[in-house]
A and B are shown apart, each in its own frame.
Chain A
Amino acid sequence: MKLLVSICALLLAVSPTFAQDYSEESLPDPKQEAVAVQLMDSIRCVVCQGQPISGSNADLAADMRRLIRERIAKGESPEEVRAWLIDKYGDWVSFKPQVKPATLPLWIVPLLALIGGVWLVSRRLGKKAG
């Protein structure tokens, strides 16, 4: 019995020393894990392009998942990590477009189309009423 207890104690003592591989394992804090996974879903794998790193088997995608989990665990914000990755690989690595002059039409054009549509419809309705 004593032996069993000491073996269990030994196992317990040893198990945390196994290096955590955060490329596949979740972070202990579920909140941080959710933040990390959300970021992984919007970072594009540079090897198997078109896939997010969360769903890619490439080594480099695993490395990026590990990097993201480690940085989030250290307290960095997901947008800081995204910015760091964009710094290395360019806008291409992020599925979420960055707001900057070249990408402004993405937000402005739908707005203009809506305004134009409302104007057209209101003119037509105005005509019918009059």
Chain B
Amino acid sequence: MTRKWLLWLPFALGLGLFAVFYLGLLRPDDHVIASQMVGKSLPEFATGPAMPGQPGAASADFRDGKPRLLNIFASWCVPCVDEIPVLVTLKAQGAEIAGIAVHDTSIDLARFLAENGNPYTSIGLDEDGQAQIAFGSSGVPETFVVDGNGTILYQHIGVVTEQDAPRLLAMLRRGKQ
């Protein structure tokens, strides 16, 4: 009797496998790719200044004991507009924000910042996306919390909303040396 059941076992396994694959087809595969750099030291990068009168961003700037937000954005990025007011509020509450503008130009950025506000203390121009890849970032906008030693504490993927702001601020305060 057990022998008879055993014969059906491969068939049942195959059916189970088919069910798993079929369900996978129904559920599209669109998860966000989190950076593996969280918990690690900032990668070496150097981006030139994007705006006259504002410095660019480089990894060395992040090791001065001051925790910072590192915001990856672009003037061509539509959702980035939504988070600028939140970033401005965060800056008013004492957050220091460095920006990295991906695939951008100074002219487009100047217009973008004039229209939406400028919460950044430094903006680096990442013309060929090499800094973005070094961070393990897969899109704009993304915001990294970096502590005073230059260690990445957290990655926020997508727009920073008013609900996210207190959490980011708390992380910055904890990152202080």
Contact = CB atoms under 8 A, between A and B. Distances in A.
Contacts of B129: 59-60, 62-63
B36 A90 contact: yes
Interface string B65-89: 0000000000000000000000000
Contacts of A47: 138-139
Interface residues of B, number: 21
A79 interface: no
A88 interface: yes
A29 interface: no
Contacts of B34: 90
A89 B128 contact: no
Interface residues of A, number: 19
Interface in A83-108: 85-90, 92-93
Interface string B98-140: 0000110000000000000000000000001110111110110
B33 A89 contact: yes
B44 interface: no
Interface of B: 29-31, 33-37, 43, 102-103, 128-130, 132-136, 138-139
9 contacts: A60-B129, A60-B138, A63-B130, A67-B133, A87-B136, A88-B37, A90-B33, A90-B36, A93-B33
